[in-house]
């Protein structure tokens, strides 16, 4: 029996209403990989801004479990949004000092929570799995829980970076969510082991993405939402990395100027 959480229940209800109004056509595969109890790290692809809501939606429908997501501190700093995030027991991440968030995440895992992590960092505009950060693996190692790779495909057509979809484009979209085989990492938690396990996680996530892309209900050749290597017009991983580096440079410069 899962404890009732009114704020989270309200958020899920709002998400279900939104996806219902948009007539999102979901296809979910390998839901049996989700544990009914106990801690686990869900390592999720990050191509769209609503990926977290889509994964929580199907998880709740499957076994009524809530996911505690790691969310950038900036969202917590907004009065209303921050209150909601805290009410849902999500974890604030300070990108300049992540030690406190790491400790909170490990504690949550040890207490039997599902932890939602986007190991790519921010939204990935190339729609391929880029190099992962090792945090997801290190947290799983510290809490001695499994990692479950998760691929979401189609959710970026609802809302993503560098493209504003029209309402017509968003209605009736197919969205595919596939859960991968859980795997346990080396509990020693040494940097070398974390790096190796992170490479394994990357391969698992990309394999899931390849599968959902190949089975997707709509052909993507020539489309903005399809990766370049599959005939789409999305930027290549190299092009996307250059644009992202420039965005971060401008953001850092603006922050520095504001502090003067």
Per-residue pLDDT tens over the stretch 133-163: 999 999 999 999 999 999 999 999 999 998 9
pLDDT > 50? residue 174: yes
Paired strand residues for 174: 25
* Residues ≥6 apart with Cβ < 8 Å to 145: 38, 39, 40, 41, 109
pLDDT > 70? residue 188: no
User: How far is it, in rounded angstroms, from Cα 171 to Cα 148?
Assistant: 30
User: How far is it, in rounded angstroms, from Cα 25 to Cα 155?
Assistant: 11
* Residues ≥6 apart with Cβ < 8 Å to 186: 141, 193, 197
Of 197, 177, 200, nearest to 187 by C-alpha is 197
Predicted confidence band of residue 244 (pLDDT cuts 50, 70, 90): confident
pLDDT value of position 187? 60
Q: Which residue has 């394994």 as its token pair?
A: 200
Mean per-residue pLDDT of the chain: 91
User: How far is it, in rounded angstroms, from Cα 101 to Cα 92?
Assistant: 6
Residue-wise pLDDT tens digits, 28-61: 999 999 999 999 999 999 999 999 999 999 999 9
pLDDT > 70? residue 189: no
């Amino acid at each position: 029996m899962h404890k009732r959480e009114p704020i989270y229940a309200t958020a899920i209800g709002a998400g279900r209403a939104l996806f219902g109004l948009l007539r999102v056509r979901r296809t979910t595969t390998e839901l049996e990989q989700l544990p009914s109890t106990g801690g686990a790290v869900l390592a999720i692809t990050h191509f769209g801004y609503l990926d977290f809501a889509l994964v929580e939606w199907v998880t709740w429908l499957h076994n009524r479990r809530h996911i505690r997501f790691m969310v950038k501190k900036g969202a917590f700093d907004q009065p209303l949004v921050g209150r909601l995030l805290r009410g849902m027991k999500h974890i604030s991440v300070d990108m300049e000092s992540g030690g406190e968030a790491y400790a909170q995440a490990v504690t949550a895992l040890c207490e039997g929570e599902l932890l939602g992590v986007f190991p790519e960092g921010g939204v990935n505009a190339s729609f391929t799995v880029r190099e992962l950060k090792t945090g997801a693996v290190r947290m799983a190692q510290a809490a001695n829980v499994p990692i479950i790779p998760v691929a979401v495909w189609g959710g970026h057509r609802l809302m993503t970076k560098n493209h504003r979809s029209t309402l017509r484009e968003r209605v009736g979209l197919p969205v595919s969510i596939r859960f991968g085989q859980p795997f346990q990492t080396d509990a020693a938690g040494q940097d070398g082991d974390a790096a190796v396990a992170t490479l394994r996680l990357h391969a698992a996530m990309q394999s899931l993405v390849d599968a959902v892309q190949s089975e997707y209900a709509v052909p993507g050749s020539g489309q903005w939402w399809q990766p370049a290597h599959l005939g789409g017009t999305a930027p290549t991983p190299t092009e996307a990395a250059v644009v992202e580096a420039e965005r971060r440079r401008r953001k850092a410069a603006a922050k520095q100027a504001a502090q003067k």
